Amino acid sequence: MPYRVIQWSTGNVGTLALRCIVGHPELELAGVWAHSAAKAGKDAGELCGLGPTGVRATTDTEALLALDADCVCYTATADLRPFEAVEDVARILASGKDVVSSSIVPLVHPQSFFPEVRDKLEDACRRGGTSFFTSGVDPGFANDVLPLTLSGLCERWDEIRILEIINYATYDQPQVLFETMGFGTPLEHTPLLLTPGTLAFAWGGTIRLLAEGLGVELDDIRQTYEKRPATRPIRIGAHTVEPGTMAALRFEVQGIVGGRPALVVEHVTRLDDDLAPDWPSGKGSYRVVITGTPTMRCEFEFEDERGDHAVGGVLLTATRLVNAIPAVCRARPGLLSALDLPLVTGRGLRRQAAPGR
């Protein structure tokens, strides 16, 4: 019997997750929640570029919670509403449905999140007999499962560094780009992402998950960043990033062990490939660099069907969640991290050859 799944939101990640759910051989789409009243009543296939599914989107939360379903894929944006998202997830868990989510990113390591929030979610899991798993590609697979797996090839290691190197010019999320991250603003402006403690809040769960998986004790988690300005106008949707305003951002979240950075998540984000040529560069990738014996460098490149790296990264977030659903549904009740799940593979997902080929 396939697992019945509700897709909760149809934004950037949600639309791709919806497509993946419809096409997954172990899953059956049971319902769709949409924030916009304009999407209510539309067939799920229309919302994700597929043919009719017979499942229509709704804004009726209570109707979805009453459905007979095994799991909810919760991808509603939570950057500016983390505690409202926690309330949503707790209600879903208590209703008897497991949850996979990319929304509240520090919960990749739920044990280190705010105790009162952790307790609330654990209580909801107990009441519903359900499991909750947060992941994606970053925070998620690229900076937890991938580096942890590579570390198993070491004799000794000194530093594990995971870089995201992507041009965000095609990332269709203007609020994130221009408000949260601060692209197109004066260099002296401090956007939400760069306020003291925010980077460590967002990626601190990843650092703590790595530390747990590697058996090291953290002294501290630190954050650093630098910016570079645009040198020419850059048009992105309805926005123009003017010369002199921020168009490239590099930051690090560092897990300090023995007084030195030992676990580092680094992002190199540009809106123009020609900017900051002295920074790490690539086609659009995650790069794991392990300094030790042996020293290793692994380049993980990706793109969507049209060759877009930024959208490819969004797709990876969706596939990581959707493909983990069967494992989460089989897992013990409670809060889960990547350390609690078996290897998630593409079992059953091989594309079928066209007739006559």
The residues, ordered by sequence, that sit 6+ positions from 349 with a Cβ below 8 Å of its Cβ are: 24, 25, 323
At 7-41, the pLDDT tens digits run 999 999 999 999 999 999 999 999 999 999 999 99
Comma-separated ranges of CATH 3.40.50.720 domains in the chain: 3-134+313-340
3-state secondary structure of 253: strand
Residue 356 pLDDT > 70: no
Give residue 109's pLDDT.
98
What average pLDDT does this structure show over 172-194?
95
Give residue 355's pLDDT.
58
Cis previous bond, 326, omega within 30: no
At 185-198, the pLDDT tens digits run 999 999 999 999 99
CA 205 remoteness from chain centre:
12
CA distance 317 to 143: 12
Residue 111 DSSP one-character state:
G
7 backbone dihedrals φ, ψ, rounded to 5°: -95, 125
Rounded (5°) CA angle 130-133-138? 170
In three state form, how does the secondary structure of 180-213 look?
Answer: HCCCCCECCCCCHHHCCCHHHHHHHHHHHHHHHH
What average pLDDT does this structure show over 167-181?
92
CA distances from 139 to 33, 47, 218, 267, 318 (A): 24, 26, 19, 11, 12
Rg value, the chain, Cα: 20
Token reading at 191? 């956007």
Strand partners, 157: 292
262 and 216 Cβ atoms separated by less than 8 Å: yes
Q: Residue 149 corresponds to which amino acid?
A: T
Pairing mode of beta strands 246-257, 260-270? antiparallel
62 and 38 Cβ atoms separated by less than 8 Å: no
Confidence of residue 124 (pLDDT cuts 50, 70, 90): very high
Residue 58 pLDDT > 80: yes
At 244-258, the pLDDT tens digits run 999 999 999 999 999
Percent of the chain beyond pLDDT 90? 93
At 257-285, the pLDDT tens digits run 999 999 999 999 999 999 999 999 988 99
What average pLDDT does this structure show over 129-142?
98
CA distance 6 to 216: 38
How does the average pLDDT of the chain come out, rounded?
96
What average pLDDT does this structure show over 327-341?
98
What stretch of H or E contains 74? strand 71-74
CA 178 remoteness from chain centre:
19
Residue 175 pLDDT > 80: yes
At 62-102, the pLDDT tens digits run 999 999 999 999 999 898 898 899 999 999 999 999 999 99
What average pLDDT does this structure show over 289-297?
98
CA distance 252 to 168: 17
Residue 354 pLDDT > 70: no
Instruction: List, edge to edge, every strand of the sheet that includes 71-74.
Output: 57-58, 27-33, 3-8, 71-74, 98-101, 131-134, 334-336
Give residue 289's pLDDT.
98
CA dihedral 172, 18, 35, 124 (to 10 degrees): -120
Percent of the chain beyond pLDDT 70? 99
3-state secondary structure of 291: strand
Q: Residue 50 corresponds to which amino acid?
A: L
User: For domain 141-301, which architecture applies?
Assistant: 2-Layer Sandwich (3.30)
Strand partners, 137: 140
Confidence of residue 180 (pLDDT cuts 50, 70, 90): very high
Query: Minimal CA–CA distance to 11: which of 304, 270, 318?
Result: 318
Comma-separated ranges of CATH 3.30.360 domains in the chain: 141-301
Q: Residue 331 corresponds to which amino acid?
A: A
Residue 178 pLDDT > 80: yes
Give residue 283's pLDDT.
85
CATH 3.40.50.720 assigned to 3-134+313-340: yes
Cis previous bond, 342, omega within 30: no
